[in-house]
């Protein structure tokens, strides 16, 4: 099978026809398309850095970037609401109809954002991150990006999830459908997640980073570190705590007024 490259790849990504990762059609999790990230890396390697942006004083240009990677422009037919104020959506990313972008925010190449999702002020959707339908990325939420290694799973936020203000999701962590990350929660591939409801400890593995269960409500917490030195100094490390699973009260607290969309 011949895969698109260069301009054809960017157009296919922007149309949502090609994705860095997508749900398995047989319902067995997610499938990572390593060739997409390799093609993006090839695009970077083979492209010159050229002036970009609006002219400033003395005839200079404000920005410089890889030649094919301009900032995207949206037509009315695409149905994306991009509010003025310093936001940027890079070429090679997909925003579905009904996505709302509040300034300033940034979406990087290879990212996918599903219909009806909101990207709030100062939020980042990193390279190849996959965001489902009706997701709310609150102010200053950060979704880490990944291009290398090509086979690594990108950050995935499934349908209906809520990512609180200042929360960070990195290194291929998957946040299950309708899960809620409270403000300030930071999760990486090596994070430990304590499920206080079911009395279990969740960790990622080298081949499969941490997964937040669907509907889980996660708040920031700490765990005591083991070892003579750590215990003597009362040291602890950050972790996530699942304090409950989503219910009607949670739905009301995380709902977006339809008028905001």
Q: What is the mean pLDDT of the chain?
A: 92
Identify whether the C-beta of residue 194 lies closer than 8 Å to the C-beta of residue 223.
yes
pLDDT-based confidence at residue 261 (cuts at 50, 70, 90): low
| Residue among 76, 77, 74 nearest 89 (CA) | 74
| Residue among 35, 114, 36, 39 nearest 80 (CA) | 114
CATH of range 71-254; options 2.160.10.10, 3.40.50.1820, 2.60.40.10, 3.30.930.10: 2.160.10.10
Q: What is the DSSP letter of 104?
A: S
pLDDT at res. 12 = 98
Please list the residues that pair with 169 across neighbouring strands: 143, 187
Q: What is the share, in percent, of the chain residues with pLDDT greater than 70?
A: 93
Above 90 in pLDDT, residue 55? no
Q: What is the share, in percent, of the chain residues with pLDDT greater than 90?
A: 79
pLDDT at res. 56 = 47
pLDDT tens readout for residues 128-150: 999 999 999 999 999 999 998 88
Helices 6-14 and 34-45: crossing angle, nearest 10°? Answer: 130
pLDDT tens readout for residues 5-29: 999 999 999 999 999 999 998 888 9
pLDDT tens readout for residues 64-109: 889 999 889 999 999 999 999 989 999 999 999 999 999 999 999 9
> Which residue would you say has higher pLDDT here, 26 or 110?
110
Above 60 in pLDDT, residue 59? no
Is beta strand 186-187 parallel, antiparallel or unpaired with respect to 168-169? parallel
| Residue among 121, 119, 113 nearest 97 (CA) | 113
Per-position DSSP letters for 14-57, written without gaps between them:
HTTSS-SEEE-TTSSSEEE-HHHHHHHHHHHHT--EEEEEEE-G
pLDDT-based confidence at residue 254 (cuts at 50, 70, 90): confident
pLDDT at res. 251 = 82
Burial classification of residue 37, based on how many CB atoms lie within 10 Å of its CB (0-12 exposed, 13-18 middle, 19 or more buried) = buried
Identify whether the C-beta of residue 261 lies closer than 8 Å to the C-beta of residue 116.
yes
3-state secondary structure of 76: helix
pLDDT-based confidence at residue 165 (cuts at 50, 70, 90): very high
pLDDT tens readout for residues 173-211: 999 999 999 999 999 999 999 999 999 999 998 778 999
């Amino acid at each position: 099978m011949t895969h698109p490259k260069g301009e054809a790849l960017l157009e296919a990504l922007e149309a949502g026809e090609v994705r860095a990762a997508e749900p398995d059609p047989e319902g067995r999790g997610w499938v990572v398309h390593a060739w997409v990230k390799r093609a993006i890396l090839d695009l970077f390697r083979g492209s010159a850095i050229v002036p970009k942006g609006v002219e400033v004083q003395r005839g200079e240009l404000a920005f410089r970037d890889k030649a094919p990677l301009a900032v995207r422009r949206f037509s009315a037919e695409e149905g994306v609401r991009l509010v003025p104020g310093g936001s940027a959506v890079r070429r090679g990313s997909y925003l579905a109809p009904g996505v709302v972008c509040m300034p300033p925010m940034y979406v990087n190449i290879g990212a996918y954002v599903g219909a009806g999702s909101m990207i709030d002020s100062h939020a980042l959707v990193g390279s190849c991150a996959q965001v489902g339908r009706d997701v709310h990325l609150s102010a200053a939420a950060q979704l880490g990006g990944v291009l290398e290694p090509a086979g690594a799973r990108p950050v995935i936020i499934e349908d209906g999830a809520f990512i609180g203000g200042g929360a960070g999701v990195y290194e291929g962590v998957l946040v299950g459908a309708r899960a809620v990350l409270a403000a300030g929660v930071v999760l990486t591939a090596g994070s430990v997640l304590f499920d206080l409801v079911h009395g279990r400890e969740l960790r990622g593995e080298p081949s499969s980073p941490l997964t937040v269960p669907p509907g889980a409500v996660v708040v920031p917490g700490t765990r005591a570190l083991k070892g003579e030195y750590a215990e003597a100094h009362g040291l602890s490390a950050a972790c996530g705590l699942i304090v409950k699973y989503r219910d009607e009260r949670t739905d009301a607290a995380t709902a977006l007024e339809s008028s905001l969309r």
